[in-house]
Amino acid sequence: MPPGPTAPDPGTKDDALVILEKYDLLEQVPASVIPALRETAKPADSVFERVQNALVASNAIALHSAGSQLEREGFGKKIVNSICRGRRAKLAGKWQCA
């Protein structure tokens, strides 16, 4: 699960600085930003002792549910891919109906 308000972030302030240096961005970042970088909660932090995250849905689940509904309503379906990355317009053109 990606880090977020209820999931720990294994990254560090130093990791952020390394990325800024790697892409030669450190000089472009306003001076006030660097001191403002702070460590995030880590997996061992007590704030997560009673947190339990559960994945209750996904794009694939939604896609298959929509496909099932289409079939119930008499439509055909063809699931090409459940993972799409890229520009929407380009992807839509790739799989549009003839």
- Which two tokens mark 70? 């289409």
pLDDT of residue 18: 94
d(CA 18, CA 37): 13
Read off the pLDDT of residues 18-52 as tens digits, 9 standing for 90 and up. Answer: 999 999 999 999 989 888 888 888 888 898 889 88
How far is it, in rounded angstroms, from Cα 9 to Cα 41?
Answer: 6
* pLDDT score of 97 more than 80: no
Single pTM value for the model:
0.47
Residue range 72-95: mean pLDDT, rounded: 75
In angstroms, the CA 54 to CA 83 distance is: 20
Per-domain residue ranges of the chain: 8-77
Mean confidence (pLDDT) of the chain: 83
